[in-house]
Structure 1
Amino acid sequence: MTTLLAFTVVVGLVGLERLAELVVSKRNAAWSLERGGRETGQGHYPFMVVLHSGFLVAMLVEAWVRRPDVAPLLAWSMLVLAVGAQVLRWWCITTLGRRWNTRVIVVPDLAPVTGGPYRFLRHPNYVAVVLEGVALPLMHASWITAGVFTVANAALLAVRIRAEDAALATLPRASGRA
Structure 2
Amino acid sequence: MSIASVGQTIWVLGIVAWYFIRRPYERRAKRVEIVSNRRSRSETIGLSAALLGLGIIPGFYVVTGIPEAADYPARAWAVAVGAIVFAAAMWVFRKTHKELGRNWSITLEIRDRHELISGGPYALVRHPMYTSFMLMGVGQAFLLANWIMGLAGLVGFAILFFLRVDEEERMMLETFGPQYRAYMEKTKRIIPYLY
SS, match of residue 117 in structure 1: helix
Identity of matched residues, %: 17
Q: How does 1:90-169 map to 2 (within 5 A)?
A: 90-107=94-111, 110-169=114-173
Q: How many pairs does the alignment contain?
A: 173
TM-score, scaled to structure 2: 0.74
Deviations 1:129-176 (A, max 9, x none): 1121121232132332343442443232122111211221122336x9
Please give the alpha-carbon distance, in whole angstroms, between the structure 2 residues aligned to 1:48 and 1:159: 6
Q: Which structure 2 segments of 5+ residues have no match?
A: 184-195
SS, match of residue 170 in structure 1: helix
Note the C-alpha offset of 1:15. Answer: 3.1
Q: How does 1:5-154 map to 2 (within 5 A)?
A: 5-21=5-21, 23-32=23-32, 34=33, 36-55=34-53, 56-62=55-61, 64=65, 65=68, 66-107=70-111, 110-154=114-158
RMSD: 2.6
Please give the alpha-carbon distance, in whole angstroms, between the structure 1 residues aligned to 2:74 and 2:60: 16
SS, match of residue 175 in structure 2: coil
Given that residues 14 and 90 in structure 2 are in contact (C-alpha distance below 8 angstroms), is that contact kept between their aligned partners in structure 1? no
Please give the alpha-carbon distance, in whole angstroms, between the structure 1 residues aligned to 2:52 and 2:111: 31
Please give the alpha-carbon distance, in whole angstroms, between the structure 1 residues aligned to 2:49 and 2:172: 24
TM-score, scaled to structure 1: 0.80
- In the superposition, relative to structure 1, how do residues 110 and 50 fare at CA in structure 2: closer, same or farther (>3 Å)? closer
Given that residues 118 and 124 in structure 1 are in contact (C-alpha distance below 8 angstroms), is that contact kept between their aligned partners in structure 2? yes
Given that residues 89 and 132 in structure 2 are in contact (C-alpha distance below 8 angstroms), is that contact kept between their aligned partners in structure 1? yes
